[in-house]
Structure 1
Amino acid sequence: MREFRPLAGSYLLSTIGDELARVALTVLVYQRTSSPLLSAITFAISYLPWLVGGPLLSTLADRLPRHRVLIATDVVRALLVAGMAIPGTPLGVLLALLLLVALCAPPFESARSALMADVLDGDRYAVATSLTNIGSQVAQMTGFLLGGILVALLSPSAVLLLDAATFVASACWLRARLQPRPAPDDGQDGATRSVWRGTGEGLRLIARAPRLRAIIALTWVGTLFANAPEGIVAPFVDGLGEGATQVGLLLAANPLGVTIGGLLVARTITQDRRERLVPALVLLSLVPVVAAGLVAAWAGPGRGVYAVVVALTFVAGLGAAWVIPLNVAFVQAVPAAYRGRAFGVAASGLYGVQGLGVLVAGLAAEGLPAAGVWALLGAVGVVAVVPPLLAYRRTQGHVAAGAGPAGRSVS
């Protein structure tokens, strides 16, 4: 477990720093431009590189020594974020630097996940993964809260410097505590071809498996509409007469709900019952979004209205515990030899739809009140999840076909 501590701890530290930067930049861009769209673009940039960069940049974790990938990406991110903190940096340069920072995430996450499997096995790996997931939600909540408070007390540039410091601390921790290991392969052309072939095989497996298609469609659609309002949180909170601290608090309410809901679902309910609860939980993650937008639009500014919105956002987070039974169902439906590739496809699309959702929210908020867009996103989401929910229920018990074409396993 000695190497688990820096792997998990550096990840949580970086997550806190990421959320600090997300709050700081969202507030900074909105303060400069008063544009909900540009504010949403700022929020979305951290997600979009996964859509294309995820499957490709993640291969660095199999081509280079993984501990070096972790340290190098942390150092690069520290330098880039420090550059973003320079006062007066043009908006276009800020967004370009943010995009480069986001492109470092796929190789870092892939190398960290792979090393976790290298240093832990069996039950220890399962327990460590569960602890890391819970810690991630807590770190996200902490980063959002601190980001809102620190932006109000200091400045966005100072908060960005703190984010750069988290990456420096993470790199130093990993450098001191991780055992050096050689690269998993020699990086020759054949390895490159196998990466492209493996990605294509993962896509084909999902395309021909109704159960996997249903799980992924439900995950992507549910996440898209549940998370899209985050892209307009700055103008939404501004419309309620609140400031930067309240932006961070509202963003933290959802991961707090996810943490508590996830613990309750994982610890107190069997997998069979969890699967039966999925439709109710999915709706619980979306209906409060509709209610929060309607309350804000109808009641207008006021501390009491803001408190109701935060409470509803927390309840939506409780409902988001539906991801736990879906993760288990996904693993059960994928042949063991395909799990890495299938997860890579699913994760890349998940990050991509989150970025797309916040962009759509920002675009809509250019012409409509932010509270109205908030409610509309939740309402459309409630309708949009019905087809994948029906497909999910219809395919329960299905398992994807074994290996590649003609039943051959794929290396």
Structure 2
Amino acid sequence: MSRTSIFSPLQHRPYRMLFYGQLFSDLGTWLDLLALSVLVAYTWGKGAVELALLTIVIGLPWVVVGPFASVWVDRLPRKGMMIACDLLRMLVVLGFVVAPNLYVLLPLVFLKEALSALFDPARQGAIRTLVPEAVLLQASSLSQLSLNVTKVAAPVLGGVIIAVSSPSLVFLLEAALFLFSIYFISRLPKMKVETYVEEGMADESKFWQQFKQGLRYIGQNRILATAIVLMAVRFFLIFLYDGLLVLWGKDIGMGEEYFGIFLGAVGLGTVIGTVVVGQWSFWSAKPIQMMSITASISGLGVILLSFGSFGWVPPNVILWTTLFFLVGAIGAGSSVPYGYVLQKETPSGIIGRVTGTANAIQNLSMFLAPAIGAMIAEWWGTGGVFLIAGTGTVFISLVAMLVVPKTGGAAKGKEHTASS
């Protein structure tokens, strides 16, 4: 058991500035999630088609822009890249305030998400550059904690603001959050631009060569590839049923007032689980095994949820709230090791491309899942979707444990460093 606290990296001033910058950036990223939907559905009176378009535009840049743009993340100074992304996002969300219609709003949303898809790989690279190896696990866990907390808290805060004011105030606050992020990131020290060169190959400087280099690195590192695929499949299976939770509540005979309680339980569980898993490093030597075991257990929890939909478990609110909490808490046992694998197995000079590709794979899986989940629900009911998702999670986790090697990845290369 490690004596190093999950908060130990905050003692290092460069990481502390980076973490605060990420925290404000994450808040800004998620704050408008509800506000955009309210603007489209209530203020402008649009329907399901327009809301579906909004959802697509939010996720599409991570798939079609992120992997290619991340080549520039590995070429350019990361501090400047993050500041530029925050500054441009601040201007874009101010554009949300004056957007007259959906045709103006959607390109602005696309641009904001494209900039977020650039910010994230740059942030990952900054962690790899700034953080001492001894606290890399804790730093990666703290970064995941910021993401998990803001995913829960920011939309709730946005909803409260909308209830007392309007979506425009949410967008103004969001712009201020990006400004705070700029303040902290601007206080980072200069970071070296590191160029990764594969062993036995010449320095590849062309765009497409560097793009393919990132793909090759993932393919040659089995631990990294396993972690990315495992998380992508997990996200796919989660999003099979994520949009059907309201129907699940109807199946078990509970009203819509319990829906927020269940979601809050998942969010709280995820936050607590992230802190607990990040606090101890007993799993650091075998992160894939940790991901697999915790995913399997959470998969069993999803199977139990399907039993409720089938009417095999009584509609007890304490039982289901506890189960949702445990699914969230145990599920953090996958996300925290995944972030650590991404950092540990990837050299700084190529981490932007690896992160961009991993984000694209995961977002593509989340794109496809809701429609497939809806079709399965039409055939076998909501319980069938939960049963398939839970069983699939257990199965893919067991497969991952069998294919991952006992040692590190096979990809080899070296890094050259230049002044930023």
User: Same-fold call, TM > 0.5?
Assistant: yes
Bin of the TM-score, shorter chain as denominator length: 0.7 to 0.9
Question: In 2, are the aligned partners of 1:254 and 1:315 still within 8 Å (CA)?
Answer: yes
Unaligned ranges ≥5, structure 1: 299-303
2:71 is matched with: 59
1:185-227 C-alpha deviation (Å, 9 max, x unpaired): 7xxxx98845532432443454466655544332211122224
1:152 is matched with: 163
Question: In 2, are the aligned partners of 1:17 and 1:163 still within 8 Å (CA)?
Answer: yes
Question: In 2, are the aligned partners of 1:290 and 1:377 still within 8 Å (CA)?
Answer: no
- Secondary structure, counterpart of 1:178 in structure 2: coil
1:382 is matched with: 390
2:7 is matched with: none
2:148 is matched with: 137
Q: How does 1:10-409 map to 2 (within 5 A)?
A: 10-31=21-42, 32-35=45-48, 38-39=50-51, 41-86=53-98, 89-175=100-186, 177-179=187-189, 193-207=205-219, 213-230=225-242, 242=256, 251-267=263-279, 270-271=282-283, 278-289=291-302, 311-320=322-331, 321-326=333-338, 342-358=354-370, 375-399=383-407, 402-403=410-411
Give the total of aligned pairs.
391
TM-score, length basis structure 2: 0.74
The alpha carbon displacement at 1:10 in A equals 1.8
Question: In 2, are the aligned partners of 1:145 and 1:248 still within 8 Å (CA)?
Answer: no
d(CA) in 2 for partners of 1:267 and 1:377?
34
Distance 1:191 1:55, change over 3 A: farther
Distance 1:336 1:57, change over 3 A: closer
Comparing 99-108 and 376-385, the one that deviates more: 376-385
1:153-183 C-alpha deviation (Å, 9 max, x unpaired): 32233222222221122223433x2345676
The alpha carbon displacement at 1:149 in A equals 2.3
Distance 1:18 1:238, change over 3 A: farther
The alpha carbon displacement at 1:51 in A equals 1.9
d(CA) in 1 for partners of 2:324 and 2:293?
16
Distance 1:145 1:16, change over 3 A: same
2:198 is matched with: none
Distance 1:50 1:291, change over 3 A: same
1:38-78 C-alpha deviation (Å, 9 max, x unpaired): 54553454333222322221223233332222222112111
Question: In 2, are the aligned partners of 1:262 and 1:324 still within 8 Å (CA)?
Answer: yes
Question: In 2, are the aligned partners of 1:20 and 1:147 still within 8 Å (CA)?
Answer: yes
Unaligned ranges ≥5, structure 2: 1-11, 196-201
The alpha carbon displacement at 1:273 in A equals 8.2
Distance 1:409 1:63, change over 3 A: closer
Distance 1:390 1:288, change over 3 A: closer
Question: What is the Cα-based RMSD across aligned positions, in Å?
Answer: 4.3
Question: In 1, are the aligned partners of 2:21 and 2:184 still within 8 Å (CA)?
Answer: yes
d(CA) in 2 for partners of 1:236 and 1:78?
38
Question: In 2, are the aligned partners of 1:10 and 1:170 still within 8 Å (CA)?
Answer: yes
Amino acid at match of 1:257: G
The alpha carbon displacement at 1:229 in A equals 4.6
Structure 1 or 2: more helix by fraction: 1
Answer yes or no: is 1:3 the counterpart of 2:3: no
